[in-house]
A and B are shown apart, each in its own frame.
Chain A
Amino acid sequence: MGGVEDDEPASKRMKLSSEELRRLSNGSTIKEPVAGSSRDLMARPLQSEGGEEVVGSKGVIKKVEFVRIIAKALYSLGYIKSGAHLEEESGIPLHSSVVNVFMRQILEGNWDESVVTLRNIGLTDERTVKSASFLILEQKFFELLDEEKAMDALNTLRTEIAPLGVNDSRVRELSSYIVSPSYCSLTRSPKQDTVRARSRSKLLEELQKLLPATVMVPEGRLEHLVEQALVLQRDACMFHNSLDKEMSLYSDHQCGRDQIPSQALQVYETGVSLKHKLSGHQKPLSSVSWSPDDRQLLTCGAEEVVRLWDVSSGECLHVYEKTGLGMVSCGWSPDGKWIFSGLNDKSICMWELDGKELECWKGQRTLKISDLEITGDGKQIISICRETAILLLDREAKVERFIEEDQTITSFSLSRDSRFLLINLLNQEIHLWNIEGDPKLVSKYRGHKRTRFIIRSCFGGLEQAFIASGSEDSLVYIWHRGTGELIETLPGHSGAVNCVSWNPANPHMLASASDDRTIRIWGLNNLSTKRKEPCSNGIHYCNGVY
Chain B
Amino acid sequence: MGRIFMITLEGRIYSCKHCFTHLALLDDIISKSFHCGHGKAYLFDKVVNITEGEKEERMMMTGLHTVVDIFCVGCGSIVGWKYEAAHEKAQKYKEGKFILERFKVLGPDGGNYLAIQESLVGGSSDADDA
Q: How large is the interface on B (under 10, 10 to 19, 20 to 34, 35 or more residues)?
A: 10 to 19
Given contacts A451-B51, A452-B51, contact A369 B5 (CB under 8 A): yes
Q: Please, how many angstroms separate the alpha-carbon atoms of A385 and B90 in the complex?
A: 39
Cβ-defined contact, B7 with A408, below 8 A: yes
Contacts of A515 in B (CB 8 A): 1-2
Which residues from 1 to 59 on chain B have a C-beta closer than 8 Å to any C-beta of chain A?
A: 1-8, 48, 51-52
Query: Does chain A have a CB within 8 A of B73?
Result: yes
**Interchain CB contact (< 8 A) of A453 among B4, B8, B48, B52:** B4
Q: Please, how many angstroms separate the alpha-carbon atoms of A387 and B5 in the complex?
A: 12
- Among B2, B8, B52, the one with the most A-chain Cβ atoms within 10 Å of its Cβ is B2
**Interchain CB contact (< 8 A) of B3 among A367, A426, A543:** A543
Interface string of A174-203 (1 = CB under 8 A from B): 000000000000000000000000000000
Query: Does chain B have a CB within 8 A of A132?
Result: no
Which residues from 447 to 505 on chain A have a C-beta closer than 8 Å to any C-beta of chain B?
A: 451-455, 496, 498
B76, closest chain A residue (CB): A452
CB distance from B3 to the nearest CB of A (A): 4
Given contacts A368-B8, A452-B73, contact A286 B51 (CB under 8 A): no
Interface string of A76-92 (1 = CB under 8 A from B): 00000000000000000
Cβ-defined contact, B5 with A453, below 8 A: yes
Contacts of A544 in B (CB 8 A): 2-3
CB distance from A297 to the nearest CB of B (A): 18
Interface string of A519-545 (1 = CB under 8 A from B): 000000000000000000000000110
Cβ-defined contact, A367 with B8, below 8 A: yes
Q: Please, how many angstroms separate the alpha-carbon atoms of A496 and B3 in the complex?
A: 11
Q: Please, how many angstroms separate the alpha-carbon atoms of A387 and B2 in the complex?
A: 20
CB distance from B33 to the nearest CB of A (A): 29
Cβ-defined contact, A452 with B8, below 8 A: no
Q: Please, how many angstroms separate the alpha-carbon atoms of A458 and B3 in the complex?
A: 17
Q: Please, how many angstroms separate the alpha-carbon atoms of A309 and B6 in the complex?
A: 28
Cβ-defined contact, A454 with B1, below 8 A: no
Contacts of A369 in B (CB 8 A): 5-8
Cβ-defined contact, B4 with A546, below 8 A: no
B2, closest chain A residue (CB): A453
Which residues from 240 to 298 on chain A have a C-beta closer than 8 Å to any C-beta of chain B?
A: 286
Q: Please, how many angstroms separate the alpha-carbon atoms of A401 and B5 in the complex?
A: 25
Cβ-defined contact, A454 with B7, below 8 A: no
**Interchain CB contact (< 8 A) of A496 among B2, B5, B52:** B2
Cβ-defined contact, B5 with A426, below 8 A: yes
Contacts of A546 in B (CB 8 A): 1
Contacts of B6 in A (CB 8 A): 369
Interface string of B45-80 (1 = CB under 8 A from A): 000100110000000000000000000010000000
Interface string of B73-117 (1 = CB under 8 A from A): 100000000000000000000000000000000000000000000
Cβ-defined contact, A498 with B5, below 8 A: no
Contacts of B52 in A (CB 8 A): 451
Q: Please, how many angstroms separate the alpha-carbon atoms of A59 and B3 in the complex?
A: 59
Cβ-defined contact, B2 with A454, below 8 A: yes
Cβ-defined contact, B3 with A454, below 8 A: yes
Contacts of A426 in B (CB 8 A): 5
Cβ-defined contact, B7 with A452, below 8 A: no
CB distance from A427 to the nearest CB of B (A): 11
- Among B1, B4, B6, the one with the most A-chain Cβ atoms within 10 Å of its Cβ is B1
- Among B5, B8, B51, the one with the most A-chain Cβ atoms within 10 Å of its Cβ is B5
CB distance from B49 to the nearest CB of A (A): 9
Q: Please, how many angstroms separate the alpha-carbon atoms of A546 and B2 in the complex?
A: 8
Q: Please, how many angstroms separate the alpha-carbon atoms of A455 and B52 in the complex?
A: 18
Extra contacts, 7 of them, besides A369-B6, A453-B3 (Cβ < 8 A), are: A286-B3, A426-B5, A451-B51, A451-B52, A454-B4, A543-B2, A544-B3
**Would you list 30 pairs from A and B whose C-beta atoms are within 8 A, ordered by A residue?**
A367-B8, A369-B5, A369-B7, A387-B7, A408-B7, A408-B48, A410-B5, A426-B5, A451-B51, A451-B52, A451-B73, A452-B2, A452-B4, A452-B5, A452-B51, A452-B73, A453-B3, A453-B4, A453-B5, A454-B3, A454-B4, A455-B2, A496-B2, A498-B2, A498-B3, A515-B1, A515-B2, A543-B3, A544-B2, A544-B3
8 tightest A-B CB contacts, nearest first: A544-B3, A453-B2, A498-B2, A454-B5, A451-B51, A454-B3, A410-B5, A543-B3
